[in-house]
C-alpha cells in the first residue's frame, strides 16, 4: 500500500470558492483519501512520502476531449490551408504511408507532450488503435480510444471489425485507465446505414460514440444538399444520438441543432485553436452551455493546432467567446471546469476531474513562483490567462508519478523524439519523390 502526502496550494475544482492557499492532499494507492487545509490529514495517517511544494498550485489533471495523437508526426507539415484541401491533398496521402509502428511513436510523442503540459486523460480517434493503447499503457496516462471509421472508404468494414476487436482487447485495460468508444469519422464520410450499424454495435457492447459534427460550412452544405437537413438533424433522425455521444467541434449549429444536442444529452468537444487555424469558425459555446449541454476542451491533432497544450487552449477558448459575445463570457473558473470537470463528464468518467475523497489520484502541480504569476489576485485567472505548458512541475495518474521536476519518468523522451523525427521525415521524402 502506497501512502503519499502533498502540501501545496490546492484548487480542487469542487466549487468556485473552494481554494486552500496552504493546503494538502493525502493519497492511498490510486485514490484520494483527503483534501483540505494544512493539517487536515486523517488521524493516524502515516505517509510513505511527503512532497512539499508550497509555491505550487495542485489541481486535477487536464482532460483533452478530442485529439488525433499520432498526428504529431504531421506537425508543421501542412500548415496554412483550409480543411478540405488540408485533408485531401496533404493529410490523407501522408496517413496512407503510416505503419503501425509509426502510429505508436507518433502517439508516444503526443503523450510526452501531454504529460509535460499537464494533460492526464485524452479522447483519441485514429487508426491502429492497438498501438495507441500500448503507448498509453506504457506512458501511464488515462485514455478513451476510438478507431476512426470512414464508412465510405475502402476499409470501412475492416475498421468496423477492428473497433469490435479493440473493445474486446483493451476496454478496461491498465486497471481501467483505458476505455474504448466507436469512432465514426463524420456525417460526410459515413452512410446512414453504416452509422446505424455503428450505433447498434456500440449499444450492444455498452460503449459510446465519438464523431466530428458540424465542423465546417462545407460539411453543412454537403449534408444539406444530400438530405435537406443539418448534420445534427440528420444524425438525430438516424438515431445516432442517445446513450453516450461526444460530438467534436459543433461549430455551425442552428437553434434547433442546439435543442437536439441538449435533449439527447450529447456532449461537445470544443476545439477553439484548431477551428481558428483552419478557418472553420467559432462554436456557440455560451449558447450550448445555456441549454445545459456539457462541453469539454480538445486540442484536435497537432497538425491543425500545432500543439497539445490545454493551457493555451483554455486561453483561446475564453478569448474567442469574449470576442463573439461579451467580455464577461466564459470567466476563468468556468474555462477551468471545461478542462477538468467538464472533460470528465464529456468522456463519461465518474471518478476523475476533481480532487475529492474517493476520486482517482489524477493530479498536476504548477510552479507559481514565477514573474508571470505575480501578483496573485486570482489563481484561476492566472491558470487560464497566464499559465503555459512549461509551468507544469508534477503529474500523477492513478497515484503514480508520471513526471517530477519536469522529468518524465515513464518514457524515454529523447528516444521518442528521435523516432518521431526519423519516421515523419521518411514519409515526407517518399511523398516528395
Whether the per-residue pLDDT at 212 is higher than 80: the answer is yes
| Residue (of 92, 6, 86) closest to 393 by Cα position | 6
Other C-beta atoms closer than 10 Å to the C-beta of 1 total 5
Q: How far apart are CA 62 and CA 68, in angstroms?
A: 17
Cell of 113: 507532450
Quick one: pLDDT at residue 81? 84
Residue 92, sorted as left (phi over 0), alpha (psi -120 to 50) or beta, turns out to be alpha
Other C-beta atoms closer than 10 Å to the C-beta of 350 total 10
- Tell how far CA 286 is from the center of its chain: 20
CATH number of 3-61+352-406: 2.30.40.10
Phi, psi of 387 (to 5 degrees): -75, 155
Q: How far apart are CA 109 and CA 420, in angstroms?
A: 7
Mean pLDDT score, 382-404:
98
Q: Model pTM?
A: 0.97
Quick one: pLDDT at residue 172? 98
Bridge partner residues of 67 (DSSP): 124
Whether the per-residue pLDDT at 11 is higher than 90: the answer is yes
- Tell how far CA 320 is from the center of its chain: 19
Mean pLDDT score, 297-311:
96
Q: How far apart are CA 313 and CA 297, in angstroms?
A: 7
> CB under 8 Å to 221, separation ≥6 — which residues?
none
Whether the per-residue pLDDT at 433 is higher than 80: the answer is no
Q: What is the pLDDT of residues 221-254, one digit of tens each?
A: 999 999 999 999 999 999 999 999 999 999 999 9
Of the chain, the percentage scoring pLDDT greater than 70 comes to 100
Mean pLDDT score, 210-230:
97
Superfamily of domain covering 62-347:
Metal-dependent hydrolases (3.20.20.140)
Confidence of residue 104 (pLDDT cuts 50, 70, 90): very high
**Domain ranges in the chain?**
3-61+352-406, 62-347
Whether the per-residue pLDDT at 83 is higher than 80: the answer is no
| Distances 154 to 159, 190, 211, 378 between C-alpha atoms, Å | 10, 12, 19, 53
Whether the per-residue pLDDT at 346 is higher than 90: the answer is yes
Dmax over CA atoms of the chain, in Å, equals: 69
Quick one: pLDDT at residue 40? 97
Quick one: pLDDT at residue 164? 98
* Radius of gyration in angstroms for the set of CA atoms belonging to the chain, rounded to a whole number: 21
> CB under 8 Å to 182, separation ≥6 — which residues?
146, 147, 149, 163, 198, 201, 202, 207, 208, 209, 210
Confidence of residue 343 (pLDDT cuts 50, 70, 90): very high
Quick one: pLDDT at residue 408? 98
Other C-beta atoms closer than 10 Å to the C-beta of 89 total 12
Q: What is the pLDDT of residues 106-159, one digit of tens each?
A: 999 999 999 999 999 999 999 999 999 999 999 999 999 999 999 999 999 999
Q: How far apart are CA 292 and CA 285, in angstroms?
A: 11
Residue at grid coordinates 491498465: 174
Quick one: pLDDT at residue 84? 80
Confidence of residue 51 (pLDDT cuts 50, 70, 90): very high
Confidence of residue 85 (pLDDT cuts 50, 70, 90): confident
Amino acid at each position: 500500500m502506497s501512502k503519499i502526502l502533498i502540501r501545496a496550494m490546492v484548487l480542487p475544482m469542487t466549487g468556485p470558492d473552494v481554494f486552500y492557499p496552504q493546503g494538502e492532499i493525502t493519497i492511498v494507492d490510486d485514490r484520494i483519501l483527503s483534501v483540505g487545509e494544512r493539517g487536515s490529514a486523517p488521524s493516524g495517517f502515516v505517509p510513505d512520502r511527503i512532497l512539499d511544494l508550497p509555491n505550487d498550485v495542485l489541481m486535477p489533471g487536464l482532460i483533452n476531449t478530442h485529439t488525433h495523437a499520432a498526428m504529431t508526426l504531421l506537425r508543421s507539415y501542412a500548415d496554412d490551408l483550409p480543411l478540405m484541401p488540408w485533408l485531401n491533398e496533404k493529410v490523407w496521402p501522408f496517413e496512407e504511408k503510416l505503419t503501425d509502428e509509426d502510429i505508436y511513436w507518433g502517439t508516444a510523442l503526443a503523450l510526452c507532450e501531454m504529460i509535460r503540459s499537464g494533460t492526464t486523460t485524452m479522447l483519441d480517434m485514429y487508426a491502429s488503435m492497438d498501438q495507441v493503447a500500448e503507448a498509453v499503457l506504457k506512458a501511464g496516462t488515462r485514455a478513451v480510444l476510438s478507431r476512426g471509421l470512414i464508412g465510405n472508404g475502402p476499409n470501412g468494414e475492416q475498421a468496423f471489425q477492428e473497433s469490435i476487436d479493440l473493445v474486446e482487447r483493451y476496454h478496461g485495460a491498465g486497471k481501467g485507465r483505458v476505455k474504448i468508444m466507436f469512432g465514426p469519422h463524420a456525417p460526410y464520410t459515413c452512410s446512414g446505414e453504416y452509422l446505424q450499424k455503428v450505433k447498434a454495435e456500440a449499444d450492444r457492447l455498452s460503449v459510446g460514440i465519438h464523431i466530428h459534427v458540424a465542423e465546417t460550412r462545407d460539411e453543412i452544405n454537403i449534408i444539406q444538399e444530400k438530405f435537406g437537413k443539418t448534420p445534427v438533424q440528420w444524425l438525430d433522425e438516424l438515431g445516432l444520438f442517445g446513450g453516450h455521444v461526444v460530438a467534436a467541434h459543433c461549430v455551425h449549429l442552428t437553434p434547433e441543432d442546439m435543442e437536439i444536442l441538449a435533449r439527447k444529452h450529447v456532449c461537445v468537444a470544443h476545439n477553439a485553436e484548431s477551428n481558428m487555424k483552419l478557418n472553420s469558425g467559432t462554436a456557440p459555446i455560451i449558447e450550448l452551455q445555456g441549454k445545459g449541454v456539457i462541453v469539454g476542451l480538445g486540442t484536435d491533432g497537432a497538425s491543425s493546432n500545432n500543439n497539445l497544450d490545454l493551457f493555451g487552449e483554455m486561453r483561446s477558448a475564453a478569448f474567442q467567446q469574449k470576442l463573439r459575445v461579451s467580455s464577461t463570457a466564459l470567466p476563468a473558473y468556468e474555462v477551468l471546469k471545461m478542462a477538468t470537470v467538464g472533460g470528465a463528464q464529456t468522456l463519461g468518467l465518474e471518478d476523475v476531474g476533481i480532487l475529492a475523497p474517493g476520486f482517482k489520484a489524477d493530479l498536476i502541480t504548477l510552479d507559481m513562483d514565477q514573474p508571470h504569476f505575480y501578483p496573485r489576485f486570482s489563481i484561476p485567472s492566472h491558470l487560464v490567462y497566464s499559465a503555459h505548458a512549461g509551468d507544469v512541475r508534477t503529474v500523477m495518474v492513478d497515484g503514480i508519478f508520471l513526471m517530477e521536476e519536469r522529468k518524465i519518468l515513464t518514457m524515454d523522451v529523447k528516444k521518442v523524439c528521435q523516432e518521431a523525427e526519423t519516421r515523419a521525415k521518411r514519409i515526407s521524402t517518399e511523398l516528395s519523390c
